[in-house]
Amino acid sequence: MAGGSGAEIDHIFKLLLIGDSGVGKSSLLLRFTADTFDDLSPTIGVDFKLKLLTMSGKRLKLTIWDTAGQERFRTLTSSYYRSAQGVILVYDVTRRDTFTDLSDVWLKEVELYSTNPDCIKMLVGNKVDRDAERVVSKQEGIAFARQYGCLFLECSAKTRANVQLCFEELVQKILDTPSLIADTKAFKKNLLRPDEPYTPQSAPGAGNCTC
Amino acid sequence: MEELGSVHRYAAGALLAIALNQAQIHRLQLVPDILGSDDGPSMSNTLEDQGVLPWSSQEFGLLHHIFGYLKIDPHAWPGIEKTAEAADAKHHIGPYIRILQEENLETASKSSASSGNSPSSTNSSSSTGKPEKTLAALAKAVDAMTISLEEYAASRPEPAHARAVEDATSSEEAYKQNDKRSSKPKSASAQKSAQRWASMKKPLLDRAASSSDLSHKDTKKKTDRASAYDASSSEPEDKEASERRILVAQRKVAVLYELLTACVADTPEEKAGKSVLNAGYDARQRVALRLLALWLDVDWKKVAAMELMVAYMAMEAEKVREEERAASHTDDEHKTTKWQKWKRGGIIGAAAVTGGALLALTGGLAAPAIAAGLTALAPAFAAVVPAVGIGGLATAVGSAAGSVAVAASFGAAGAGLAGTKMARRTGGVDEFMFLPIGDNHQQGRLAVGIVISGIAMEAEDYTLPWEGSDGELERYALRWESKELIALSTAIEDWLASSAARELVKAGAMMTVLAGLVAALAWPVALLSATDWIDSRWTIAVDRADKAGKILAKCLLGGSQGNRPVTLIGFSLGARVIFSCLEYLAKKGNDASIVERVVLLGAPLTLDRQRWENARKVVAGRFINAYSSNDWILGVVYRSSFMTTGLAGIQKVEIPGVENIDVSDIISGHSMYLAKTKEILAALDLDSFFPIYPSKLEGPLDPDSP
């Protein structure tokens, strides 16, 4: 990224994809950013993608961190929760353990490491194209989402069903949450960097703002 | 390579990337005045904000060959780079270090995620016992090397003292850091500068408990060196915990070793058709390693020992390759293919291209002669590494001799011989030559030091002020324009001895002058008239210093130091030589690949912000300005500029990334630098990443920071 991103960006959001290994986080992201589908090898550490989006008249820059689901990387990914406005929890509708792990493992990680108390969580059941093998029903997903206060969608990175929508809903919700966009706005004025951390001591931000 | 799991290797690569950028950020910040209460402007922590390309970015080519060497999946590279570039990168340091402390999880993950582990990792997980053994062997070798180096240094009477002082200060500092860690850095009461530092050292904070134990162990090692060898291997007091701790420490050493090898190794990498020669051991990489060693709580001395080991390995590998080359050499071979071979080898080709043209200029900082280095080191190694043996070590750790062509770092071998005089008058300078000093020559040291005197009463003064501890540097003194310099120095001395000057000193006129409150009009008439005849000599010397700096820069650009990071230290006009050199490097678009550290003592340089910032840009690591407000000679000879813009040798330089140290109490006159430089340098502790001395040096060494 060569700094000069041309058009004015209204908000910069940091999103995070988490969930067990093999649920399709990277595929989901690849579908969203490049609209392709590929047989991907497991993510090593973290991956990063950028996506520009215009929603309700706002120009948005999404910085999306795609974390490795494998347990061996768990320690390492903990610091990526920092200052994320949105977290996408992905499970595989054909593997129940990936669903139960969300509450057993991943939600706890979010609680533990997220620095944005209002951070939006989105529950995503992937691989709905393999309906025959489905073991987690949509109702269960809805119940889960209600219980933990998440948004919910089922999608398929393979058939591209709902993929776009899933990111858009999340972003819309972030846009609707004043406490989340307050920060990103401040950064927009002061910093070009997308993933500036939310630092409590610099919270007012307006102090630097000469507008 | 299998000694470190793929996760550990990944983390190692990422940590180096982060360290690179953090070191770069550190360079752009106003160095906090440790004692003083002034708080620098709060800087945003991103490089891009300041319109600077991060060192981790591809353009600099500092990382990709390392990732490749570490066998990190190329798919993971962008993620690492982005992580390192992110504004909150320093928050990632902790987790990445913590993962190094975790056991190799490969086996555990294999059962759960059988879907597609990389083939290399499956191989390694089959036998968990062996890699641990090699880790231990490596750690032991490094320990032994460190100890033998220290003993070697201690065997020389003079430097031994300096070393001991350094040891004391550094261990003292370690304890202080521990204290800092234990106090919560987020508490509002904490000093601002301390806070910033603490946040830089956050990872250390994260594991305060274990590391303090480790540093205890370290100090113990220092006190009784003899038993240190056993201490690391046979001391199973609290069994598992200590075993684990040892393993973690060993792993950290291995990580640094791997990274170091990767930095030095020349992985043949083709970039869009043309094969690009790795620039060797880059100054920025060394600075990043220095920071990383601090994060990992590994003593830099150990890293210095590793540098030697890696160098030795590289030389060995090169020897083998040389022999193969000689064996397979045939006359009908086409010239270009031979050329390519050389390029891949990285040794002679570089010399022919860069060395040849500049041979006349270089005056010859010799690259370590490979054969000589081998013989010098071989006995030491045989004694030091009995457990693994050289070959064993080479194959065990990184298989340096394998697919990886090593050692572009030794670059232009034999581009010149140390001490060769300049063939003829060049660039308006009559004399310009490097004199090897210290004992570290021809030993495969991976860092070069060039020291430059700026006052000289006699020829000896070019080398004498610099005698003493070499540290890990292969040092050269630059002798330049001795005629002019001696003339100037004597002129000043003579004038000082004159009664007029003595009267002035007695009257305290000089102090008034330097208070900076007196307008130029109010200068004592006697002072002005007396200095007239110094001025002409001074002007000539300054001019020559600037020219010599340019030549020095050309030498460095030509690679006569052998593509190794260079530390430049100079006092008085010597500092001016360095500054001119830096400016020339900046003009030529060098991006901090060569110069690692700079120390300017009593520099006759005006405070032109733009020029200082330019000079700062080409220095990867610390940039120190030592000044003495008692240095009135400097004030006198430079009175015009001193009055208007300020003078570096007399006052602070408020430029981001420049450390200032007040040596007023040590330096009461300009020529004092001749005698006191050694002392000041010892106090600076150049080996640490952060400045750990008080901003003012008082009397004889008393490094008491708050």
Asked if residue B92 and residue B26 are part of one domain, the reply reads yes
For residues A174 and A196, give the distance between their C-alpha atoms in angstroms, rounded to a whole number.
Answer: 17
| CA B702/CA B680 separation, integer angstroms | 11
Candidates A45, A71, A75; nearest CB to B112:
A71
| pLDDT the model gives residue B525 | 58
What are the backbone angles phi and psi of residue A11, rounded to the nearest 5°? Answer: -140, 150
Instruction: State the pLDDT confidence band at B406, using cuts at 50, 70 and 90.
Output: very low
Domain of residue B494, CATH code: 3.40.50
How many Å apart are CA B100 and CA B276, to the nearest integer? 32
Q: What is the pTM of this model?
A: 0.75
Q: What is the pLDDT of residue A123?
A: 96
CA A58, CA A180: separation in Å to the nearest integer? 15
pLDDT digits (tens, 9 = 90+) for B271-300: 433 444 455 788 999 999 999 999 999 999
Contact B49 A193 (CB under 8 A): yes
Higher pLDDT, B116 or B562: B562
Is a pLDDT exceeding 70 seen at residue A195?
Answer: no
Quick one: average pLDDT of B63-70?
85
Residue A209 confidence (pLDDT) above 50: no
Q: Residue B224 falls within a domain, yes or no? A: no
pLDDT at B270 over 90: no
More confident residue, B24 or B261: B24
Whole-number pLDDT of residue B672: 85
Is A71 a member of any domain? yes
A100 assigned to some structural domain: yes
Residue B496 lies in a domain: yes
Contact A120, A151 (CB under 8 A): yes
Judging contacts by C-beta atoms under 8 Å, the chain B residues touching residue A71 are 105, 108-109, 112-113
Strands A58-67 and A11-18: parallel
Query: A138-142, B176-180, B549-553, B631-635 — which one is most confidently predicted on average?
Result: A138-142
Pairing, β B432-437 against β B474-480: antiparallel
Which stretch of A95-104, A124-133, B79-88, B435-444 has the lowest confidence by average pLDDT?
Answer: B435-444
How would you label B381-408 residue by residue, b for 16+ Cβ within 10 Å and e otherwise? beebbebbebeebbbbbbebbeebbbbb
Chain A residues with CB-CB distance to B under 8 A?
1, 3, 21-22, 41-48, 65-66, 69-73, 75-80, 82-83, 190-193, 195-197
Q: Write down the pLDDT at residue A116.
A: 87
- C-alpha B135/C-alpha B124 separation (Å) is 14
> Which pLDDT does position B638 carry in this prediction?
74
Domain assignment present for B183: no
pLDDT digits (tens, 9 = 90+) for B293-320: 999 999 998 898 888 777 766 666 656 6
Tokens matching residue A17? 């994809």
Does B70 map to a domain? yes
Cβ distance of A47 and B76 shorter than 8 Å: yes
B71-88 confidence digits (pLDDT tens): 888 889 999 999 998 888
Q: Where are the beta strands (DSSP E) in chain A?
A: 11-18, 46-55, 58-67, 86-92, 120-126, 151-154
Position with higher pLDDT, B468 vs B254: B254
Cα→Cα distances B10→A89, B15, B114, B339, Å: 24, 9, 20, 35
> pLDDT tens-digit profile of B443-461?
667 788 899 999 888 888 9
The stretches of B202-355 forming alpha helices (DSSP H) are 202-206, 208-223, 225-233, 239-264, 283-295, 300-328, 335-345, 348-350
Strand B474-480 to A151-154 pairing = unpaired
Q: Which domain, by its residues, includes A101?
A: 11-185
Closest residue in chain A to residue B186, using alpha carbons only? A201
Kindly give, in sequence order, each residue whose CB lies less than 8 Å from that of residue B104, ignoring residues fewer than 6 positions away.
B5, B7, B8, B124, B125, B128, B131
For residue B218, give the nearest of B202, B232, B205 by alpha carbon. B232
Please write the tens of the pLDDT for every residue from B494-506: 777 776 666 666 6
pLDDT, tens digit (0-9, with 9 covering 90-100), for B474-483: 888 888 888 8
Same domain for B467 and B374: no
A136 found inside a domain: yes
In a domain, B123, yes or no: no
Handedness of CA B329, B333, B337, B339 (dihedral sign): positive
Does any domain span residue A191?
Answer: no
Q: What is the pLDDT of residues B185-239, one digit of tens each?
A: 333 333 444 444 444 333 333 333 333 333 334 333 333 433 433 444 444 457 7
**Of B75, B87, B108, Cβ closest to residue A197:** B87
Backbone angles phi, psi at B418, to 5 degrees: -60, 135
- Give the HSE-up count for residue B171: Cα atoms under 13 Å, Cβ half-sphere: 15
pLDDT digits (tens, 9 = 90+) for B127-151: 345 666 777 777 777 777 777 777 7
| Shortest Cα distance, chain A CAs vs residue B686, angstroms | 32
Q: Do A193 and B6 touch (CB under 8 A)?
A: no
Contact list in B for residue A22 (CB cut-off 8 A) is 113, 115
Choose the closest CB to B98 out of A70, A75, A191: A75
Q: Which of B8, B44, B101 has the most A C-beta neighbours within 10 Å, making it the best mutation to test the interface with A?
A: B44
Reported confidence tier of residue B432, pLDDT bands at 50, 70, 90: confident
Q: What is the mean pLDDT of chain B?
A: 66
Q: Are residues B574 and B425 in the same domain?
A: yes
- For residues B577 and B452, the answer to whether their CB atoms sit within 8 Å is yes
Within this chain, do residues B381 and B448 fall inside the same structural domain, yes or no? no
Amino acid residing at B75: H
Q: Are residues B470 and B607 in the same domain?
A: yes
DSSP string, B505-535: HHHTHHHHHHHT-S-GGGS-HHHHHHHHHHH
Most confident of A130-144, B144-158, B688-702: A130-144
**Which of A72-81, B338-347, B614-623 has the lowest average pLDDT?**
B338-347
Are both B382 and B467 inside the same structural domain? no
pLDDT in tens, B315-336: 666 566 666 666 765 444 444 4
Does one domain contain both B312 and B457? Answer: no
- Residue of B39, B58, B90, B91 to mutate for A, most A C-beta atoms under 10 A: B91
The 3-class secondary structure across B397-451, one letter per residue, is CCCCCCCCEECHHHCCCCCCCCCCCCCCCECCECCEEEEEECCCCCCCCCCEEEE
* pLDDT beyond 80 at B390: no
CB contact under 8 A, A192 and B14: no
Closest CA of chain A from B135, distance in Å = 20
Q: Do B48 and A75 touch (CB under 8 A)?
A: no
For A96, B517, B648, B660, the CA distances from B608, given in Å and listed in that order, are 67, 20, 10, 16
What share of chain B in percent tops pLDDT 90? 13
Size of interface A-B (CB pairs under 8 A): 108
Is residue A18, in this structure, part of any structural domain at all?
yes
B255, B224 contact by CB (below 8 A):
no
Look at A83 and B49 and tell me if their CB atoms are within 8 Å: no
Q: Which residue of B has its CA nearest to A71?
A: B109
d(CA B462, CA A85): 61
> For position A157, which CATH number holds?
3.40.50.300
| pLDDT reported for residue A152 | 96
Confidence of residue B26 (pLDDT cuts 50, 70, 90): confident
Residue B382 counted as domain residue: yes
For B5, name the nearest residue in chain A, comparing CA atoms only: A72
**pLDDT at res. B669:** 79
Tell me: do B550 and B612 sit in the same domain.
yes
Whether residue B547 is contained in a domain is answered as yes
H/E run at residue A178: helix A178-190
Both B374 and B462 in one domain: the answer is no
Question: Angle at Cα B348 formed by Cα B347 and Cα B351, nearest 5°?
Answer: 100
Chain A interface disruption, residue of B7, B18, B77, B122, most A CBs within 10 A: B7
Sign of CA dihedral A147, A148, A152, A157: negative
Task: Tell if the CB–CB gap between A79 and B91 is shorter than 8 Å.
Answer: yes
| Torsion sign across C-alpha atoms A164, A166, A168, A171 | negative
| Distance separating alpha carbons of residues B364 and B561, to the nearest angstrom | 8
A140 min Cα distance to partner chain B (Å): 24
Which residues of chain B are within 8 Å of residue A61 when distances are taken between CB atoms?
none
The DSSP secondary structure of B360-378, one letter per residue, reads HHH---PPPPHHHHHHHHH
Cβ–Cβ of B46/A192 closer than 8 Å? yes
Task: Write out pLDDT tens, residues B642-667.
Answer: 566 778 888 888 888 899 999 988 88
Select from B368, B313, B375, B367 the least CA-distant residue to B142.
Answer: B313
Query: What does the DSSP assignment read for A6-52?
Result: SSPPSEEEEEEEE-STTSSHHHHHHHHHH-----PPPPPSEEEEEEE
Selecting from A46, A47, A76 the residue whose C-beta is nearest the C-beta of B99 gives A76
What is the rounded average pLDDT of the residues A41-50?
Answer: 92
Distance from CA of B349 to the nearest CA of A (A): 35
Q: Do B109 and A72 touch (CB under 8 A)?
A: yes
Give the Cα separation of B456 and B250 in Å (integer). 48
CB contact under 8 A, B92 and A196: no
Residue A85: its pLDDT value, please?
93
Structural domain for B375, as ranges: 1-31+46-103+132-147+241-265+278-326+370-386
Q: Is residue B190 part of a domain?
A: no
State the pLDDT at residue A136: 95
Name residue B475's beta-bridge partners.
B437, B449
Residue contact B75–A43, C-beta within 8 A: yes
User: Could you give the number of structural domains in chain B?
Assistant: 2
ipTM above 0.90, yes or no: no
Using the predicted structure, report yes or no on whether residue A201 has a pLDDT greater than 90: no
